[in-house]
Amino acid sequence: MQTRKGQEIEDESMQIIESEIGSHTFNEMEWPIVRRIIHSTADFDFARENKLLFHKDAISNGINALKNGCSIVTDVNGVIGLMNKQNPKDFGNNLICNISDPSLMESAKKAGKTRAQMSMRVAEKEIDGGVVVVGNAPTALLEVMEMVREGLVKPALVVGIPVGFVSAVESKDELSKTDIPFITNIGRKGGSPCASAIINALYKLLRQGIN
- Average pLDDT, integer, range 113-128: 95
Cα dist from 69 to 131, 166, 183, 211, whole Å: 10, 34, 20, 15
Rg of the Cα atoms in the chain: 17
Let me know how long the chain is: 211
Beta bridge partners of 73: 96, 132
Asked if the model's pLDDT at residue 154 lies above 70, the reply is yes
Identify the helix (H) or strand (E) that includes residue 16. helix 4-21
Distance CA 144, CA 159 (A): 11
- Provide the phi-psi class of 167: left if phi over 0, else alpha when psi is between -120 and 50, else beta: left
* Catalytic site positions: 39
Average per-residue pLDDT in the chain?
Answer: 93
Q: Which domains does the chain have, with CATH numbers?
A: 53-207 (3.40.50.10230)
Q: Are strands 131-134 and 157-160 parallel, antiparallel or unpaired?
A: parallel
Taking the whole predicted model, whether its pTM rises above 0.75 is answered as yes
Higher pLDDT, 191 or 5: 191
**CB within 8 A of 160, min separation 6: which ones?**
132, 134, 141, 144, 171, 172, 175, 182, 183, 184
Dump pLDDT digits (tens) for 164-206: 999 999 999 999 999 999 999 999 999 999 999 999 999 999 9
